[in-house]
Amino acid sequence: MNETKIILPDRDIPRQWYNIMADMPNLPKPPLHPGTKQPIGPDDLKAIFPMSLIEQEVSTQRWIDIPEEVHKIYSLWRPSPLYRAHRLEAALNTPAKIYYKYEGVSPAGSHKPNTSIPQAYYNKKAGVKRIATETGAGQWGSALALAGSLFGIDVTVYMVKVSFNQKPYRRIAMETWGATVHASPSTITNSGRKILEADPDSPGSLGIAISEAVEDAATHDDTNYALGSVLNHVLLHQTVIGLEAKKQFELAGDYPDVIIGCCGGGSNLGGVSFPFLQDKINGKQLRVIAAEPISCPTLTKGEFRYDFGDTAGLTPLMMMYTLGHDFMPPGIHAGGLRYHADAPLVCQLYKDNLIEAVAFGQTACFEAAIQFAKTEGLIPAPESSHAIRGAIDEALRAKEEGKEKTIFFNLSGHGYLDMTAYEDYLAGKLVDYAYPDEKIKEALAKLPVI
């Protein structure tokens, strides 16, 4: 098959999400209550999540129905296209075939609406009036703002202050969809005020913004909380990516040898790879690679242990590869990859050698992004450029080895609101920053002993 763009017939969108918990050799260890350090039950989460999402969080049922209303909204931009990167292959002069799934076609420009839409839907059904959340560079906040506007739910977003100041366009997008956006740390919550007392100039972090949003939700009856990555139900919703891709590969008469996704919290990687990992668990040869930044090297340098999901220690403790919950990542441009840990599902699969990980510096990633933009046309999100770096490296290795191989990566979003990042790269202003090992040790020394 020689076509560049493989599209599924109109509305041929999956009717069910795939739950990898039905097939994993080892399930993740249970989340623990932040106070008692005992396993939490559904009741502990009721203050901030609707029961339907809590059920999905713990479900081991293999297939979970996508509600009709969610399916309808998915069809605004899904199925997303699978492209064969013929021009990139030619530029690399590689015997490898390179495919990518393009999630930048969603209204918010990334894969995140795949989960913001069902999360808003289930909250609406539960009678929730407002959702509080955090956002780093603004992709998750915009995805939830969009979903809130479609279902008539108010959305309050705590946006990491450094991005709030440096990246006004996503804030304006969120406000256009009707959300209220606060720079975090803010003076609205106890968690925010505490951080500001200690450091009035705090640039904020995802961990701090999560503390603020969780506190907001926990202290208001009509308000719930939503998370854009990490949790099991988020990765479940994202499996629409991989399920569509499987059908598209069938149409193309091909199947990937290697699947690559960038990894911040693990949701796009999980979404693109889990339906294929089901085949791997059943004996198929296949590699899945998480591509992360060297400045926030969670899987490649972190430790597998219980940690909080946020800075203040309000969330349950989860078993994750972590750099420590008060890890302060340097301000690289891939804001969506600056989280101190990864999804428990991805971490367990990494522990069990079903997923591999690599870390790249940001200049090597921008170099790959620009080669991609010049050959394939699309300008990728800085986060997605990590997956492109991984794919190009695999293609170059195939060339060295003189081997044919099918490489598949997820292009998680476009970069059209990240132009200052490209401007800095083109002006030679970007530097690589590998997070020092001593600093990681320092942050890890502060973790709770379980």
Among 112, 171, 182, 237, binds ligand PLP (CB under 6 A): 112
Helix (H) or strand (E) holding 169, with range, is helix 168-176
Backbone angles phi, psi at 359, to 5 degrees: -125, 140
- Give the interface segment with ligand PLP, choosing from 43-51, 54-62, 74-82, 380-388 (CB under 6 A): 380-388
- Give the interface segment with ligand PLP, choosing from 2-10, 157-165, 195-203, 267-275 (CB under 6 A): 267-275
Residue 214, Cα to own-chain centre: how many angstroms? 19
For the beta carbon of residue 65, count every other beta carbon within 10 angstroms: 11
Contact status: 135 vs ligand PLP (CB under 6 A): no
Find the largest Cα–Cα distance for the chain.
Answer: 62
96/204 with CB nearer ligand PLP: 204
- Give the interface segment with ligand PLP, choosing from 20-28, 116-124, 257-265, 279-287 (CB under 6 A): 257-265
Contact status: 266 vs ligand PLP (CB under 6 A): yes
3-state secondary structure 183-248: EECCCCCHHHHHHHHHCCCCCCCHHHHHHHHHHHHHCCCCEEECCCCCCHHHHHHHHHHHHHHHHH
Helix (H) or strand (E) holding 158, with range, is strand 154-160
- Give the interface segment with ligand PLP, choosing from 37-45, 258-266, 313-321, 322-330 (CB under 6 A): 258-266
C-alpha closest to that of 341 among 442, 444, 434: 444
Contact status: 383 vs ligand PLP (CB under 6 A): yes
- Give the interface segment with ligand PLP, choosing from 4-12, 71-79, 146-154, 264-272 (CB under 6 A): 264-272
Shortest distance (Å) from residue 357 CB to ligand PLP: 12
**With 0-12 CB in 10 A as exposed, 13-18 as middle and 19+ as buried, what is 9?**
exposed
CB 177 within 8 A of CB 140: no
Which residue's C-beta sits nearest to ligand PLP? 413
Q: Give the separation between CA 119 and CA 82, rounded to whole angstroms.
A: 25
C-alpha closest to that of 380 among 275, 268, 296: 268
- Contact residues for 119 (Cβ-Cβ < 8 A; gap 6+): 53, 131, 144, 147, 226, 233, 234, 237
Among 268, 298, 311, 322, binds ligand PLP (CB under 6 A): 268
Contact status: 275 vs ligand PLP (CB under 6 A): no
3-state secondary structure 371-396: HHHHHHCCCECCCCHHHHHHHHHHHH
Shortest distance (Å) from residue 282 CB to ligand PLP: 25
CB 193 within 8 A of CB 187: yes
3-state secondary structure 379-440: CECCCCHHHHHHHHHHHHHHHHHCCCCEEEEEECEECCCCHHHHHHHHCCCCCCCCCCHHHH
Annotate each residue in 313-352 with x if it binds ligand PLP (CB under 6 A) or - if it does not, as one string.
-----------------------xx---------------
Contact status: 139 vs ligand PLP (CB under 6 A): yes
Among 56, 110, 184, 211, binds ligand PLP (CB under 6 A): 110
Contact status: 413 vs ligand PLP (CB under 6 A): yes
Annotate each residue in 159-198 with x if it binds ligand PLP (CB under 6 A) or - if it does not, as one string.
----------------------------------------
Shortest distance (Å) from residue 262 CB to ligand PLP: 5
Among 156, 384, 385, 406, binds ligand PLP (CB under 6 A): 384
44/103 with CB nearer ligand PLP: 103
97/274 with CB nearer ligand PLP: 274
Mapping DSSP to helix (H, G, I), strand (E, B) and coil, where does residue 74 land? Answer: helix
CB 159 within 8 A of CB 183: yes
Contact status: 412 vs ligand PLP (CB under 6 A): yes
263/430 with CB nearer ligand PLP: 263
Shortest distance (Å) from residue 412 CB to ligand PLP: 3
Instruction: Transcribe 275-313 into DSSP letters.
Output: HHHHHHHTT---EEEEEEETTS-HHHH-EEEEEESSSSS
31/336 with CB nearer ligand PLP: 336
Contact status: 141 vs ligand PLP (CB under 6 A): no
Shortest distance (Å) from residue 137 CB to ligand PLP: 7
**With 0-12 CB in 10 A as exposed, 13-18 as middle and 19+ as buried, what is 60?**
exposed
Among 262, 296, 345, 392, binds ligand PLP (CB under 6 A): 262
C-alpha closest to that of 423 among 373, 384, 385, 366: 366
110/248 with CB nearer ligand PLP: 110
For 306, the token pair is 């219980």
223/238 with CB nearer ligand PLP: 238
Q: Which residues of the chain form contacts with ligand PLP (CB under 6 A)?
A: 110, 112, 139-140, 229, 262-269, 336-337, 381, 383-384, 412-413
